[in-house]
Amino acid sequence: MVRADDESALEAPDPPHARLPSRTLPILVTALLIAAVLFIYLPLLPVGGFRFFDEFHTLDRTTAFARHGDWFTVYSLQEPSFKKPPLQYWMSAGLLETGAGELTALRLPSFLFTLGSLVATALLAAAVMPATLWAMPASVLLLACSTMFWAYGLSAMLASGATFFATLALAAAPTAPAAALALAITAAQGQRNSSVRETGAACQLSAT
């Protein structure tokens, strides 16, 4: 006679898809969504022209490194300026030096920060709702549907970078408060002395 525990041992093993950890599937879907966004929007980087007036300032500050032969000082309208952090300008200037097209070089940093914002949003959703990780792909999909999000993500504006650092700071706050503070300071520095329109856009994108 076969005991009950022996019967359970003789049961067929679960199929591979049933053994897939419940936490893995939403993370995988989130990664696929971000990858899909990458392939959809990346070809749009060199398309069209400038949409915002401040993009001309980005062009001026980016090309000033090579013009003045000084990669440690941000120049604005031919004058040294300490109002803006140089990270995004360095990135664009480096791309121009490698031969990238002007629009691509100016927009690619914003685009990378935009993708980073999608990742940071997923991490924030996981931090807020750790028991419901399907909030990760849902939040990414919701943010990716924002027309303002992509208007700035496909531009040469600095708002996308500020959005990335601000969102990442919120995501890191529960587990790494010191890192969150550093990221928040970075985001604030990126928007220091920004135009009202650009600062408002960064705040609205972060709130989204």
User: What are the pLDDT digits (tens) for 106-152?
Assistant: 999 999 999 999 999 999 999 999 999 999 999 999 999 999 999 99
Q: Output the six-digit token pair for 174.
A: 């529960």
pLDDT of residue 204: 45
pTM: 0.78
Cα separation, 208 vs 190, in Å, equals 19
For residue 46, give the nearest of 196, 155, 165 by alpha carbon.
Answer: 155
Residues of the chain under the 50 pLDDT cut: 1-2, 9-10, 18-19, 193, 195-208
Judge whether 34 and 140 are in contact, CB under 8 Å. Answer: yes
Which residues are within 8 A (CB) of 204 and not within 5 positions of it... i.e. 6 or more apart?
148
pLDDT of residue 182: 72
